[in-house]
Structure 1
Amino acid sequence: MQISNILKPEAVRVFGAASSKKRLFQEIADVAQLAYGLPAQPTVEALLDRESLGPTGVGHGVALPHARLDGLDKVVGVFLKLDTPLEFGAVDRQPIDVAFALFAPEDAGVEHLKALALVSRTLREQSFCTKLRANPDPATLYTILTEDQSVQAA
């Protein structure tokens, strides 16, 4: 699995600032609605429900919110880069400025976990995140995110 299998160019955005976690989730849901046709309100609710189980802020300025939704036939993603970091309740107590949300079908088993592991592994690389943070253009961000993983490792 590669990020290009779960992410469309129109699902990559740069967002100025979010006033709260809920506002960030609303923005993610709006992008998911435009890119994948997901209904915004149930998407926000699913993200909030998952977040209530424990924070999806994984540290180093990165959040990986995720949820299962009806009406999907495969795992899809939304990537947001925030111009202004947001207090998110991350495990390291640092604000986040990179969010990669994943949405999986209700009955997705291992595919959902594989996608989450792939995104987590990719965004754990500090040099990779530095490249993302240095680029304000969504098209460039999409290219960086979907580069062949073997090229990134070189």
Structure 2
Amino acid sequence: MSGNARPSAAEGVRIGDLLIPERIGIRLTAISGDDLLEKLSELLGTGNPALDRQTVHRALFERECLGSTGIGHGIALPHGRLPGLPRPIGAFVTLAQDLDYHAIDCKPVTMVFALLVPDDAAEEHLLILSRLARFFQNHHTRQELLAAQTTEEIRQYFARA
């Protein structure tokens, strides 16, 4: 291993480690994709006063402008990278009503996992997104999350992932 190489931090990241209960929402109301990103930006800032909501929103919005992060099966994975962020963080919400999010399968979104990673964590970013996409491919997983009544139920479900 060269002196500049470092072991991939992504290998040790678990989906459940990205969430705290305060960044989980159940039956969130969003009237548009941008409204959803605003609310997710607020959630992502919870527990981290150094995160500016407008900066978070801009990171998520700029990525969304490249193409929808609606991956199908009612799931969206908005994500972005931020300079100065010490580690990856996430927020998860179920929606009160289905939302047209221009998903790849043209179906509305019912659940959203928003992800922020440090600006210099490209490999980690892709690995976490890949894990999330695999996690949400399971029909049973999606049904369990939609049926959850409390943020603690959802947090526990992700912790077991």
TM-score (norm 1): 0.91
User: Quick one: distance in 2 between partners of 1:137 and 1:45?
Assistant: 29
2:27/2:95 contact within 8 Å kept: yes
Partner of 1:25: 37
1:88/1:96 contact within 8 Å kept: yes
- 1:111 is displaced (CA, Å) by 1.2
- 1:144 is displaced (CA, Å) by 1.0
Equivalent of residue 10 in structure 1, options 22, 35, 59:
22
Equivalent of residue 67 in structure 1, options 64, 80, 93:
80
User: What are the superposed Cα offsets for residues 52-91 of structure 1, whole Å, 9 maximum, x if unpaired?
Assistant: 1111000010000000112201111110111211110101
- 1:133 is displaced (CA, Å) by 0.6
2:28/2:93 contact within 8 Å kept: no
Structure 2 residue matching 1:36: 3-state secondary structure: coil
Structure 2 residue matching 1:83: 3-state secondary structure: strand
User: Quick one: distance in 2 between partners of 1:26 and 1:109?
Assistant: 24
Matches within 5 A, 1:3-152: 3-37=15-49, 38-147=51-160, 149=161
TM-score (norm 2): 0.87
Structure 2: tracts of 5 or more residues without a match: 1-12
Structure 1 residue matching 2:66: 3-state secondary structure: coil
User: Quick one: distance in 1 between partners of 2:73 and 2:133?
Assistant: 12
User: Quick one: distance in 2 between partners of 1:15 and 1:29?
Assistant: 17
2:26/2:151 contact within 8 Å kept: yes
User: Quick one: distance in 2 between partners of 1:15 and 1:134?
Assistant: 10
Percentage identity across paired residues of the two chains: 32
User: Quick one: distance in 2 between partners of 1:36 and 1:146?
Assistant: 20
**Compared with structure 1, are the counterparts of its residues 10 and 16 closer, same or farther at alpha carbon in structure 2 (3 Å cutoff)?**
closer
- 1:46 is displaced (CA, Å) by 1.0
In angstroms, what is the RMSD of aligned CA positions?
A: 1.2
- 1:105 is displaced (CA, Å) by 0.8
Q: Which runs of 4+ in 1 moved over 6 A?
A: none
User: Quick one: distance in 1 between partners of 2:28 and 2:78?
Assistant: 19
Structure 1: tracts of 5 or more residues without a match: 150-154
